[in-house]
Amino acid sequence: MGRRVLLTLFITLLLSLWATADPFPAKCASQLNKKANLISDGGLTMATGAWQMQSAGDWIHYPASMVNISFKGKEYPAYPIGNCGALNKQKNFSTYIDNTTGIAIALANAPLTQRISIATLLNQAVIDDNGTYLDFTFSFMSTSADDLVMNFATAVVGAMDVEIDFLGGDDKLVQHISTGVIINPQGYGNFEYQQNIPVLARTAVISIYTTPPSVTSGVVCFDLVSAIVGINATNTPYGQNIENVYHILFIYTWVNVPVVFVALLILCRITGMQFPAPVRMLQRQPNRTVLVAILVLAGALLFEDAWNLVVSKRSWLLDVIADKNVKVIAFFLTFLLDAFNFYPALLCYQLSHESRIASVLGLYALAVPLAWHFVSVMREYAFDFSQETFALIIIIFGELPVVVAAAIAFGHFGRRVVATPTAASEANFRQLEPFEEQYVSQLFKKKFEVKRIIPKSLVSKIVSFVLCRGWPKNPEAPKKFDTWKEYVYDKFGMDPVIRIPLILISSLWILIFCQYQLILAFIVRFLVADGFGTTFICGLAPVIAVANNQTQDTGMLDFANASYIAMECVMWIGGIGGGLLTILFALGMLRRFTKDIRRIRKGDYGIFKGKKYNSTKLDDFIRVMGAIVGFGFTGSFSFIVELLIIGFIISLICLVDLFRNALAEWIVSSLFFISFIVSFAFKQIQKQITQQVFVASDTTYELRFCEVFYHYSFLMMIASFASGLTAFLLRMIKLAFRFPFYSLRIDRNIETWIVRAGDGGFSAWCGMLMAENIYNNPIKIIFLQHLSNHYKSNLKNGIRSEKHTIHTTSVDDTEKWQTSSSSGEQEQEHPLVSDSELNARRKRAKTRWFLAVTLINNPMVI
């Protein structure tokens, strides 16, 4: 039974992609209020008074019912009819002849009229640019079994005509439009008609004429009349201007790169400044906010291209290249060319503290790609969602991080244009936080104690409470934090004396921005007009409703509404909740980096395959930023999609009686499911018996009743074979669900060591760790600082006295700095020192030399 349910559910999901119960999808979309139907009472219930008639009772609503019909020897049981509005069969109507089609048709002189507003604050300018149209949808039903048979048997079943009067703001007629006589409209499942909205039109009066009821033509009965304002951006000057600006900025963006590059070369040659590197990733450097902001702006272009590649299978480069064989290469070139867009801005930033001209060039180099990005967003979303206020708000929220990052970057360049470059600004720009100095100073502490606290599980605490042993308390004392920085460091597992490299900080900020944009993109694509949610539900409802014993449109619409509400909940929980969960999980790389780099500095290379002499190369380090952002974005996308699919399947099981009953029957009678329950219960009982009876209190392995335990352990070992079989199946199920989530981080690989070398993300992480340890090892840095201070002093002032040289190096004496900071004593400055103190410092210098060499060669002694 379980296999049949799963197979049925899978086939249902496939059928929903193309199954339509015409004209149900249009009615469904209108019912879900995801299409802005301008017509009130589009279902023609005649209960709201929105429709106007020449005489009361000309048009009435025919109630829904089910009939059994027979046609050409075939039986059609329980066929739905009614639930539509049409001319009253009990009244006689005067007619007029319309021969616009070449055939004289008599239409009843009893129109059904409604006035609608077509102009809003958002689309009024587009209407005046002649870029909008009215999209009409008419769907039909039969009022009786005779009309239904007549519809099957005859070729002509009535006609209709729609007259539209477009009025301006002063209610003056702007234009009169007629669809002409539409013969046999019920022959179309849905009759759709589009009409351009004239310039200056603000409202429209719609009048519907049909043939009068008769024995030969039946009744033209409408169960949905829908009118939606559509926008054709290509026909508007506004849209054409955006398209032209987009292409102009596209050209300027690529011209911008060589122009700024050549200008900086000339500037450096004239002023004698050294030509900078955009980012010195291998060297330790302060995590500058402006530098991270520029990289986040680059992430905006990265997300746009990544979303288009993953979802739309297109990019700006693919639009330029027409050859299909070259398009494969374009996927790889897209991101490489995105890096060139912000390459000039990074160069200007590195020179901004020395030159005002570089700051001006930085403003220009940053403004062009950002303008191109914003115009690209307007080009894609402005017209598609111009009438969806909710979607526009979401899109604006999505661009807020870009605006904040741009404000930070522009503020920096603007301040540098005004300020005069000085030696102090140069020194402040190069100033580093003393992470390495503090790390080395901790190595000189005399007391070092590590006490590991093993927490007790919740089940063990409950059992202890039930056995009247009291509720175990956590032996760890609560931590107190003086600043928010200490609190954040503790929660994310960072160490105040370990520097987080700029490449990791920048990559995480770009990833968080991409994940934030991804959450909002899912909401926009799923929950707006004509979104995937509406299309999927309206295509699925007719198929599922039959399984739920609902064949009438009313029941289908109720099911579609309930399904859509459930899907909205799944979207908010899975989309936003899953997205926030991926963001927090991605930030766990900060904790992992702190642990890994601490272990490597102590000589523990267990994370690498091959230990210390591993195959990691510098090229792995180069790929770490792309790996962090790429794995994180794709993994977050896959995880959110997985949550949505699981949530929607659970919703279907809860809403459909067939699936719900089948699942309940499978849970009760299936050996597969019951084995999991019995295995879990057996495991918990066995654990508590072992812990409470045979293990001494407050220990984990100290036995009591040893002889009895041997008998007990033998029996339990054999009995655990069954739980081993079910545990393997449970591992496979959990792995299938957890793999997308755990794969979005590159700092760990859940696969075995044999295949880890083929994981590009984990290899990049190992390369970053090795590069950080080789280039920024605190012991090496502090040791070289001591040597460089001696060298710089002798090089600048010539050979000076030994006493004076030893005295000047005491400023950077890490050991002395640690002891004096703890005791609060300050060393007094003296130009000369006594011979006894000189000898003592010589001994300490020799000791420090050997200590440094020992620590470098034997990190495990730390």
13 pLDDT exceeds 60?
A: no
Q: What is the pLDDT of residue 410?
A: 92
- Buried b / exposed e along 94-130 (16+ C-beta atoms within 10 A): eeeebeeeeeebbbbebbbebebebbeeebeebbbbe
Tell me, yes or no, whether 288 and 416 share the same domain: yes
53 pLDDT exceeds 80?
A: yes
Q: Does a structural domain hold residue 397?
A: yes
Helix axes 624-655, 289-307, angle to 10 degrees: 50
Tell me, yes or no, whether 192 and 293 share the same domain: no
Q: Does a structural domain hold residue 11?
A: no
pLDDT tens digits, one per residue of 505-559 = 988 999 998 888 888 888 877 766 566 767 777 777 766 766 666 656 666 777 7
For residue 787, which amino acid is it?
A: L
Tell me, yes or no, whether 417 and 509 share the same domain: no
- For residue 613, name the pLDDT band (cuts at 50, 70, 90): confident
Tell me, yes or no, whether 506 and 517 share the same domain: yes
Q: Among 231, 247, 266, give the residue marking a domain's end.
A: 231
61 pLDDT exceeds 70?
A: yes
Task: Report how far residue 306's alpha carbon sits from residue 279's, in angstroms, rounded to the nearest whole number.
Answer: 23
Tell me, yes or no, whether 605 and 683 share the same domain: no
Over the Cα atoms of the chain, what is R_g? 37
What is the share, in percent, of the chain residues with pLDDT greater than 70?
70
Task: Report how far residue 557's alpha carbon sits from residue 545's, in angstroms, rounded to the nearest whole number.
Answer: 9
Helix axes 778-797, 835-857, angle to 10 degrees: 140
Cα 582 → chain centroid: 9
Cβ contact 567:533 at 8 Å: yes
Q: Does a structural domain hold residue 521?
A: yes
pLDDT tens digits, one per residue of 135-164 = 888 888 877 777 666 665 555 567 888 899
Tell me, yes or no, whether 518 and 414 share the same domain: no
Q: How far is CA 16 from CA 53, 532, 710, in A?
A: 40, 12, 60
Q: In whole numbers, what is the pLDDT of the chain averaged over residues?
A: 75
Q: Among 640, 655, 670, give the residue marking a domain's end.
A: 655
Task: Report how far residue 848's alpha carbon sits from residue 836's, in angstroms, rounded to the nearest whole number.
Answer: 19
Q: Does a structural domain hold residue 167?
A: yes
Residue 42 structure tokens: 């589009």
Tell me, yes or no, whether 107 and 217 share the same domain: yes
Range with lowest mean pLDDT among 189-193, 308-312, 583-587, 833-837? 833-837
For the sheet containing 221-231, what is the strand order? 59-62, 84-87, 221-231, 132-141, 190-196
Of 381, 424, 766, which is closest to residue 612 (Cα–Cα)? 766
Q: What is the pLDDT of residue 205?
A: 92
Q: DSSP string covering 473-508, please?
A: PP-SPPP--SSHHHHHHHHTT--TTSPPPHHHHHHH
Between 60 and 1, the higher pLDDT residue: 60
- For residue 206, name the pLDDT band (cuts at 50, 70, 90): very high
User: Structurally, how many domains does the chain consist of?
Assistant: 5
Q: DSSP string covering 145-176, please?
A: HHHHHHHHH-S---EEEEEEEEE-TTS-EEEE
Tell me, yes or no, whether 311 and 189 share the same domain: no
Paired residues of 79 in beta bridges:
67
Please calculate the CA angle 769-773-775 and round it to the nearest 5 degrees.
115
Between 437 and 189, the higher pLDDT residue: 437
Across the range 633-637, mean pLDDT stands at 87
Instruction: Report the SS3 class of residue 738.
Output: helix
Tell me, yes or no, whether 212 and 69 share the same domain: yes
Cβ contact 67:81 at 8 Å: yes
For residue 617, which amino acid is it?
A: K
Q: What is the pLDDT of residue 818?
A: 40
For residue 763, which amino acid is it?
A: S
Q: What is the pLDDT of residue 9?
A: 45
Q: Does a structural domain hold residue 594?
A: yes
Of 163, 161, 162, which is closest to residue 183 (Cα–Cα)? 161
Q: Among 215, 231, 247, give the residue marking a domain's end.
A: 231
Cβ contact 317:229 at 8 Å: no
Cβ contact 205:176 at 8 Å: no
Cβ contact 547:658 at 8 Å: yes
Tell me, yes or no, whether 269 and 227 share the same domain: no
Q: Does a structural domain hold residue 846?
A: yes
Instruction: Report the SS3 class of residue 194.
Output: strand
Q: Does a structural domain hold residue 713?
A: yes
Could you say which DSSP state residue 571 is in?
I
Tell me, yes or no, whether 631 and 722 share the same domain: no
Across the range 92-101, mean pLDDT stands at 77
Domain CATH code at residue 62: 2.60.120
Q: Which domain holds residue 327?
A: 238-431
824 pLDDT exceeds 60?
A: no
Q: Does a structural domain hold residue 484?
A: no
Residue 283 structure tokens: 């060297």
- For residue 802, name the pLDDT band (cuts at 50, 70, 90): very low
Across the range 808-836, mean pLDDT stands at 43
Q: What is the pLDDT of residue 32?
A: 64
Task: Report how far residue 282's alpha carbon sits from residue 265's, in angstroms, rounded to the nearest whole number.
Answer: 24
278 pLDDT exceeds 70?
A: yes
Residue 186 structure tokens: 């019920």
